Amino acid sequence: MPTQVHLASGLDVMCHAMESYTAIPFHLRSAPPNNPIERPAYQGSNPISDVWSLKALEMVVEHLPRVVKDPSDYEAQKQMLLAATFAGIGFGNAGVHLCHAMSYPISGLNALYRHPQYQVDHLLVPHGISVALSAPAVFNYTSQMYPERHRRVAEILGADMSQVKQADIGAVLSDRLRHFFQDLKVPNGISAIGFGYNDIPGLIKGTLPQHRVLKLAPLTTESEDLHKLFEDALTIY
């Protein structure tokens, strides 16, 4: 598998883990439907998913940089395969939220970008790249809800959070993500794949109908919030 496919799919695993761990808690979702057949696909963060999501995140932080830097590091590749499955068990029940909701228009409205090493004859923003580009902006924003969960994520990313005040957790986490992505040479924000400030209204329009995931965000997110998030995602580092 080309290194860039490892990178993109690994970033997807990472976002699956972080989004499912910070999704709205299962008991705060809207009232359960009368008929079980109308149950939503995703339940929100819950104690069982938490275990899988946190473990997957630890594995990604340790092994994704190794996979990207050394294509012959099969042990790290093996651990990433396992991490993908672990995160899948976590988010397959809890669900994901804003990075994924924003990723669909990022990939769908792409008019310029073809990611390196993907042997396709059309433009392509790989799914994992499109979810990662908004992550520093998203987790800075969502940290106002469930800050202790965001603190835990930042710790797994290597931050010393012992002296960090609650109000600063989002900024510290966002910073760790920016460094993590820069180190892996992830494209520097949505501007690096061809989007400009004037494209933001179109990106918002493509995000708002993604109820399946948007409604799992830890806080209600309107057009103006999305505008700020896309603006912040124009460049990452």
Closest CB to Zn ion among residues 8, 172:
8
| CA angle at 88 for the pair 234 and 182, rounded to the nearest 5° | 30
The residue with its CB nearest to Zn ion is 12
Q: Interacting stretch for Zn ion, rule CB under 5 A, among 11-19, 39-47, 156-164, 208-216?
A: 11-19
Asked whether position 232 contacts Zn ion by CB under 5 A, the answer is no
Smallest gap from residue 131 Cβ to Zn ion (A): 5
Q: Determine the residue type at 223.
A: S
Place of tokens 């400009």: 196
Nearer to Zn ion, 18 or 229 (CB): 18
What are the C-alpha distances in Å from 29 to residues 60, 79, 91? 29, 33, 16
**85, 98, 13, 92: which is closest to 49 by C-alpha?**
92
From the list 12-20, 108-116, 154-162, 184-192, the region that binds Zn ion by CB under 5 A is 12-20
Residue from 12, 19, 199, 232 that binds Zn ion (CB under 5 A)?
A: 12
Burial class (CB in 10 A: 0-12, 13-18, 19+), 7: buried
Nearer to Zn ion, 12 or 232 (CB): 12
- Decide: 155 and 161 in contact? Cβ < 8 Å: yes
- In the complex with Zn ion, which residue's Cβ is closer, 102 or 161? 102
Q: Where on the chain is the footprint of Zn ion (CB under 5 A)?
A: 12
